[in-house]
Amino acid sequence: MKSNRLITEMSGEEFDSIISAYIEREAQDTGELLAPVFYQTLRDIFEAEVVEETIELQGELIGDRLRLRPPVPMPPLVTVHDNEIVVDNIRFVIRIASQVSQVT
């Protein structure tokens, strides 16, 4: 069925249907994924649960300085030295704040 309607005259669902049909028709017998399978795979990738890793550091106060001790081995792109943590080129410097008395 051929339509002479402009894209701007179509609903979003009609346009998506035409594009999907075109992709499926072009992919026939080429071993490529069908459009619905492709889009579902993309959704699965972007909705995948992000696994977070927890790294516990032991801290020790030596005078007024903090010394962090990481577990061994550390993950790649993470380094710890004294009061500094570097993660993938982002440097965190941890300083101990002196105790401030509250004025009432």
More confident residue, 29 or 56: 56
More confident residue, 85 or 34: 85
The C-alpha torsion from 31 through 37 and 41 to 47, rounded to 10°, is 180
Range of the domain at 80: 58-93
Q: Is residue 82 part of a domain?
A: yes
pTM of the model: 0.43
pLDDT > 70? residue 1: no
Q: Is residue 99 part of a domain?
A: no
CA 27, CA 30: separation in Å to the nearest integer? 5
Q: Is residue 103 part of a domain?
A: no
pLDDT > 90? residue 85: yes
pLDDT tens per residue, range 44-68: 777 776 667 788 889 998 888 889 9
Q: Is residue 53 part of a domain?
A: no
Kindly report the average pLDDT of the chain as a whole number. Answer: 79
Host H or E run for residue 35:
helix 35-46
Length of the chain: 104
Distance of CA 22 to the CA centre of its chain: 32
Q: Please tell me the least confidently modeled range out of 18-22, 48-52, 99-103.
A: 99-103
